[in-house]
Structure 1
C-alpha cells in the first residue's frame, strides 16, 4: 500500500517560512536537518504529529520561482489545508496579520478561503460542509 509521507511547498526563505507555518498557521516543527545551505525542514499538524509532513523546500531550482510566480499570478493555490471552520480560521488568522486573497467562499459541498503565505505561495484552506 502506498501512502503520502511527505509533501512540499516551495519557499523563498526557510526561516521565514518556518515562522509563518508555525507561529501563524499553527503547525509544529518535525525535522530540521542541515543540508549545506538549505535544511530538510518539515512541519506537521499538532493534531497528527506522526502524520503527513510538509517540507518547506527552498525554491532555488531555476524552474521553481517561475512556476510559483505563474500560479500565484493566476490566483491558483499551491496546496490546500483542511480546517474545521473556514470562517473561524479566517478570523483567527486575520487577527495574526495573515492576508487573504479570497475571503470565505461557498463552493457547494465545501467552503474555501485563500491566504498568502508570505513565501511566494497562495494556500487554500477548506472545510467540508455538513451533509
Structure 2
C-alpha cells in the first residue's frame, strides 16, 4: 500500500492554484472539469510522478468548523518536507508568503508554518520528525 493522493480543503480553487503554483512552486498535474466541479491536483516539480495534492473545495458543512478550529489552535492541515527550512522560509517570504511561525528547531527537526491564503496552515519541515 502507498499514498498516491492527498488533499487540502480550500475556499477557492483558483486562488489555491495561484498560491500553490505561483508562490510555493508546485506544478499542475490534473485540472479536470467534471460534471460536479473541478478536480485539481498539483505535484512537486522534483517528483512529478509522486504524491498528488488535490486542491479540493471546502464545501462540506463540516469543513469550515474543522479548518477554523485547526487554525485557531495553530495546527497545520498538512506538512511538506524541504531540504533547508531557513532557505525555503526566506525564498517564500520574498514571494510574499505569510508565516505564522518562523523556523524553529526542536530536537532534530526544524519547521515553520505558513498561511496558504485558502483557509489552512501548512508546515514545512526538515530533519527527522520528533
> TM-score, with normalisation over the residues of structure 1?
0.95
- 1:98 and 1:10 map into 2 onto residues whose CA distance is 18
Q: What is the aligned partner in structure 2 of residue 83 from structure 1?
A: 82
Q: What is the aligned partner in structure 2 of residue 107 from structure 1?
A: 106
Q: What is the aligned partner in structure 2 of residue 61 from structure 1?
A: 60
- 1:27 and 1:40 map into 2 onto residues whose CA distance is 16
Shift of 1:37: 5.6
Q: Does 1:74 align with 2:70?
A: no
Q: What is the aligned partner in structure 2 of residue 119 from structure 1?
A: 118
3-state SS of the aligned residue for 1:41?
A: strand
User: Cα RMSD between the aligned structures?
Assistant: 1.0
- 2:87 and 2:42 map into 1 onto residues whose CA distance is 22
3-state SS of the aligned residue for 1:90?
A: helix
> TM-score, with normalisation over the residues of structure 2?
0.96
Structure 2 residue runs of 5 or longer lacking an equivalent are none
Shift of 1:107: 1.2
3-state SS of the aligned residue for 1:62?
A: coil
Cα deviation code 1:14-40 (max 9, x no counterpart): 000000000010000000111246311
More off after superposition, 11-20 vs 32-41: 32-41
Q: What is the aligned partner in structure 2 of residue 28 from structure 1?
A: 27
Cα deviation code 1:49-79 (max 9, x no counterpart): 0000000000000011110011011000000
Structure 1 residue runs of 5 or longer lacking an equivalent are none
3-state SS of the aligned residue for 1:49?
A: coil
